[in-house]
Chain A
């Protein structure tokens, strides 16, 4: 009887998770469609569909295909990548606050990218590679520093806070040397913005997302096992250090490519995990829902930032404004329950 109860419970949870994912997918598709329609000129759904199917609609074809479509694709891919990277860090370190943007990994990507843009004057591909290198170096350096005498998530978080502070000052230093006319662009990039999105920025991000998805599809199972604690995971047959390094690498690569394409969009990596956990409920894998939540957040926030105010705000300002109070609430509830610290 108990086994039957457990089985039905498991089935119900799986079904619930599927429903949540489908709902999120529908919402994301709707947000996508609205983004493609709205702008300086409004195009109806019929026009959009015709453009997407490859027909030539005068006026709409260029705007939608060359301006709005790459923008929304970068938003979806970067948001999804941020969501997955965030939830992987949070799950692995067993702390919802330990998302890569709080513990300094994003700052590593940003610092490398800002040096590439302002000091070295590199093009987009080179900047992407540099950002990936910066994030990987930061993450694995921190991992190595935190691993002495057994890996400790708490130590990694504290080291990350210190490293993040240092990298932030490097970023402001580079920015202070940038020319006046570069400043607004650089600031915009640092808050996270889809303004620079072109087909050229979609391609590397899409490749990274595909690789990340493949890696997570084969190894994502281990992530939920790691959540049980290192000892239990090892007892269940998971090679803990190797799995941790692999998942860390996947998360960092996703994060770095997304950062290179859209800047470190504030708090998306941090918010996607807890929001999807709340939607899906305990026990289930959060990777897919977190990707959907991240993408939905980014696209919706960009829509809001572009059209709802007198000034056009980059997407990072909007996610920052949502993320900051959410963070405070989460901090308080977490500390009150006291279990994840």
Chain B
């Protein structure tokens, strides 16, 4: 028994340096939070009318001496920034959790076809049920996201070897194509619905209002809490189902709760900002190399990082073709696709 015990300790200390090499949590969270703060300041300052830092502070604290037009511009950019933070954090957490549950480095709301499933559900709701309020739209989006995530994962995991990254990516891409084709079949005869829908379909935070934030924030908070609550079980799931069960994790329940949280997050995020791809893929990959694979650290770090990425991407989209704006969903996919390609190229084939 002692020999076995020492060997276990030996292997775990062997594994330790790997953990110690990672950046201390406080520095990491502090650094990312600082980045996020800078991003937010930039986001309220930069745009068609750029404000100086003093004007930004003046406008936010309600100083009457600042130029009224600048003040109005700054205040108008606040909800947009808040929405960006919420959506970015949600998508990053959803991506992190999906990658953990499926043990698949490519699992991500966009690739799993969740976003296009949510879009299809919303269009079905608008066309056949006549929904219009933001709450019902969010509800339809969440249901659509859940159904399509389950369907893609189920199809991807039929057969030998379970849901390998290749099978999952192909199932997701194929189902996305199918969803998109059904969506356009529903939209084509209805010009009025199409016009409103196309702006939603690109994914942007430009149309942010406090009302949308009020509707979106509570379910998003619930989703993040669900995912955080499963963090320890997710660590165990990474060891394989049998080992996790042996170490006392309730595998099925943990996976279900975490998946529910992730689907809630990306469904609601999609309904308030449209489908935004690659945030959920890129952020966990960037952070996993820094924080290590411990989800109790990874999830909060990814939330902050996702928020920062989305807000920065939004600012980039506003600046790059001024005075026109590029929606944040396009910026993230142009940043994200090369990173996906890098991940695919770096891994050896048998890992794919």
Residues on A lying within 8 angstroms of B by beta carbon are 95, 97-98, 101-103, 145, 148, 152, 154-155, 157-159, 161-166, 168-170, 172-173, 175-177, 180, 183-184, 187-188, 190-191, 266-267, 311, 313-314, 316-317, 320-321, 323-324, 327-328, 331-332, 334-338, 341
Cβ-Cβ contact count across A and B, 8 Å cutoff: 164
**23 A-B residue pairings within 8 Å (CB atoms):** A95-B170, A102-B177, A154-B166, A154-B349, A158-B165, A158-B352, A162-B344, A165-B110, A166-B334, A169-B203, A170-B330, A183-B194, A183-B198, A184-B188, A266-B177, A267-B177, A313-B185, A320-B185, A323-B178, A324-B177, A327-B175, A331-B158, A341-B161
4 further interface pairs, Cβ-Cβ under 8 Å (given A316-B181, A316-B184): A166-B337, A183-B198, A311-B189, A341-B166
**Interface assignment of B199: CB less than 8 Å from any CB of chain A:** yes
* Complex alpha-carbon distance, A311 and B169, angstroms: 35
Q: How far is the CB of B35 from chain A (nearest CB, A)?
A: 24
Q: Mark B25-50, 1 if CB is under 8 A from A, else 0.
A: 00000000000000000000000000
Q: Mark B145-182, 1 if CB is under 8 A from A, else 0.
A: 00000000001111111001111011111110111011
**Interface assignment of B195: CB less than 8 Å from any CB of chain A:** yes
A338 CB contacts on chain B under 8 angstroms: 159-161
Q: Give chain B interface residues in 305-348, CB to chain A under 8 Å.
A: 324, 326-327, 329-330, 333-334, 336-337, 340-341, 344-345
Q: How far is the CB of B200 from chain A (nearest CB, A)?
A: 10
Report which residue of B155, B161, B172, B324 has the largest number of chain A beta carbons within 10 angstroms of its beta carbon: B155
B345 CB contacts on chain A under 8 angstroms: 145, 148, 155, 159
When C-beta atoms are compared, the residue in chain B nearest to A266 turns out to be B181
Q: Are A161 and B111 in contact (CB under 8 A)?
A: yes
Q: Are B188 and A101 in contact (CB under 8 A)?
A: no
* Complex alpha-carbon distance, A337 and B160, angstroms: 8
Nearest first, the 3 closest Cβ-Cβ pairs linking A and B are: A320-B181, A324-B178, A335-B159
B156 CB contacts on chain A under 8 angstroms: 335
- Dominant SS among interface residues on chain B: helix
B177 CB contacts on chain A under 8 angstroms: 101-102, 266-267, 324, 327
Q: Are B158 and A332 in contact (CB under 8 A)?
A: yes
- Dominant SS among interface residues on chain A: helix
With contact pairs A267-B181, A320-B181, A338-B160 given, residues A163 and B337 touching in the complex (Cβ less than 8 Å): yes
Residues on B lying within 8 angstroms of A by beta carbon are 106, 110-111, 155-161, 164-167, 169-175, 177-179, 181-182, 184-185, 187-189, 191, 194-195, 198-199, 201-203, 277-278, 324, 326-327, 329-330, 333-334, 336-337, 340-341, 344-345, 349, 352
Q: How far is the CB of B289 from chain A (nearest CB, A)?
A: 19
* Complex alpha-carbon distance, A292 and B233, angstroms: 54
Q: How far is the CB of A79 from chain B (nearest CB, A)?
A: 17
* Complex alpha-carbon distance, A340 and B202, angstroms: 34
With contact pairs A162-B337, A162-B344, A331-B174 given, residues A187 and B184 touching in the complex (Cβ less than 8 Å): yes
B184 CB contacts on chain A under 8 angstroms: 187, 190-191, 316-317, 320
Q: Are A166 and B333 in contact (CB under 8 A)?
A: yes
* Complex alpha-carbon distance, A148 and B345, angstroms: 8
Report which residue of A97, A152, A173, A184 has the largest number of chain B beta carbons within 10 angstroms of its beta carbon: A173
Q: Are B185 and A183 in contact (CB under 8 A)?
A: no
The 8 Å CB contact of A314, one of B165, B188, B194, B336, is B188
* Complex alpha-carbon distance, A155 and B348, angstroms: 10
When C-beta atoms are compared, the residue in chain B nearest to A321 turns out to be B185
When C-beta atoms are compared, the residue in chain A nearest to B154 turns out to be A332
With contact pairs A191-B184, A266-B177 given, residues A158 and B110 touching in the complex (Cβ less than 8 Å): no
A311 CB contacts on chain B under 8 angstroms: 188-189
The 8 Å CB contact of A184, one of B161, B164, B174, B194, is B194
With contact pairs A158-B352, A191-B181, A321-B181 given, residues A173 and B330 touching in the complex (Cβ less than 8 Å): yes
The 8 Å CB contact of A187, one of B166, B174, B187, B330, is B187
* Complex alpha-carbon distance, A313 and B189, angstroms: 8
